[in-house]
Amino acid sequence: MDSQNLDRHPQLYFPDGDIALFATKPAPKDGGQQRYLVFRIHKFLLRHHSETFANMIADANAETDTVYDGVPLVEMHGDNAEDLAAMLSYMYNPSYVLTPISLPLLPLNSFRAITFKRHDPNTPLLASGVIRLADKYCLQSLHDHLVAQVVSDWPTTLHEWDVLQGEIAAVWKLALTAAHPPFGGLPSDGAFCDLVPEPVAAIRFAQEFGCPQILPAAFYQLAHIGLAADWRLRDHPGDPPDRAAKRDALARWSMLGEENLLRCLRGFQELDEYFPPIRTFLCARCQPPEGEDGDEDEVARDTGGPGCYAALHRMISTLGTGRRGSKRDPIALLLQCVELRDQAEEIDRRIGKSKDSLCEECWDTFEEQALVERERVWDSLPRFFSLFGENP
């Protein structure tokens, strides 16, 4: 190894270190000569954290002829310098990785720092390389902590899902006003997609590192992102710039893979065909007779004019097909319908009760049963997307 191709790491090169490790840096964009990053560290720390490292050091002591700056020099075959820096940083200071707030993993001068801020869409990608390295060298604690950080960005219950959607809605409003300095807080090159979790990277991460509990939420989130809203728009918005590049959620569709694409097609079809069981949302007095084929639209036509069934059917159909509607988001649709009660009651107070509005008993029944139905839909997501124990 030509020492002229070695760059010393600015932080992880200790004068009293007794072993030097070197790994490949990212390939030069200009096609220049490959360079390597060298870390001068302490054998005792490697032994303390990993038996694999202890064995490697023993082999190096017995076989290594190469010396750099007075200590044995060991090549880390197949290891990426960025990921190795993150892993060694964890050994010296685990708090770099454990913090849940936006702190750099390492203040690197020569390459990209890894960050683990909350809802960072890049966290699954940045963490993956480090976790693979942690697995290679049997650092289970580092593996567990990084997996936990990715998992923490994704809801595993309906309540957590509602909280996330509330946060995303607030961030979306911020992104809309970002162009106006008095109201905005995003940098000039910021985008909405930088502030919310990205589902495809999370899906691939969960499948590789064994955290399937985040898959229902990730696939459901992906159902609300159009195919045209590809992550490539983030860096190449086009001329003129595509609106989605700044203000819409984007997905790394090209990373999805064939099996996951089939899961999406099946799940999207289930969501597209979903229509709430309106009859169960009404009080017994207002439920219409069962249609011969049980078709909701036919019963709605049969009931025609006034009636709670027709009113509720019309409300759900309208909300589900609006500009920012919930056609593929029945969980949000049901909540939006429930929230309309306060508005409907205010209208009734101002202009009199409409003949097409729900009676009080039906509103009470609907509020209760719609929440039950939301839980049922949430629990059905694994089946919709063929996630557990089924072929896509």
- Compute the distance between CA of residue 196 and CA of residue 171 in angstroms, rounded to an integer: 8
- Compute the distance between CA of residue 155 and CA of residue 219 in angstroms, rounded to an integer: 12
Q: Is the pLDDT of residue 61 over 90?
A: no
Work out the pLDDT band at 328, boundaries 50, 70, 90.
Answer: confident
Chain mean position to CA 70: 46
Sign of CA dihedral 243, 249, 255, 258: negative
- Compute the distance between CA of residue 237 and CA of residue 221 in angstroms, rounded to an integer: 22
- Compute the distance between CA of residue 147 and CA of residue 214 in angstroms, rounded to an integer: 11
Would you state the structure tokens that stand for residue 124, as one six-digit string? 């699954």
Q: Which of 130-144, 178-192, 316-330 has the lowest mean pLDDT?
A: 178-192
Residue 73, CA distances (Å) to 16, 67, 68, 111 in order: 14, 5, 6, 22
> What is the tally of helices (H) and strands (E) in the chain?
16, 5
Q: Where are the domains of the chain?
A: 3-148, 154-256, 278-384
Q: Is residue 245 a contact partner of residue 368, using CB atoms and an 8 Å limit?
A: no
CB-based burial, 173-202: b 16+ in 10 Å, e otherwise = ebbeebeeeeeeebeeeebbbbbbbbbbbb
Q: Which CATH number fits domain 3-148: 3.40.50.300, 3.90.1150.10, 3.40.50.150, 3.30.710.10?
A: 3.30.710.10
Q: Is the pLDDT of residue 66 over 90?
A: no
Q: What is the DSSP string of 136-174?
A: HTT-HHHHHHHHHHHHHTS-SSHHHHHHHHHHHHHHHHH
Q: Is residue 384 a contact partner of residue 270, using CB atoms and an 8 Å limit?
A: yes
Q: Is the pLDDT of residue 221 over 70?
A: yes
Q: Is residue 342 a contact partner of residue 335, using CB atoms and an 8 Å limit?
A: no
Bigger pLDDT: 1 vs 60: 60
* pTM (global) more than 0.75: yes
| Structure confidence by residue, pLDDT tens digits, 157-172 | 999 999 999 999 888 8
Provide the edge-to-edge strand list for the sheet that holds 71-80.
Answer: 6-13, 36-41, 19-24, 71-80, 67-68
Beta bridge partners of 229: none
Pick from 174, 86, 198: nearest CA to 132: 86
3-state secondary structure of 3: helix
Q: What is the pLDDT of the chain when averaged over all its residues?
A: 81
| Structure confidence by residue, pLDDT tens digits, 124-133 | 998 999 999 9
**Mean pLDDT across the stretch 43-72?**
85
**Mean pLDDT across the stretch 272-284?**
91
Would you state the structure tokens that stand for residue 22, as one six-digit string? 């070197």
The pLDDT value recorded for residue 18 is 92
The pLDDT value recorded for residue 90 is 87
Q: Is the pLDDT of residue 110 over 80?
A: no
H-helix or E-strand spanning residue 370: helix 360-384
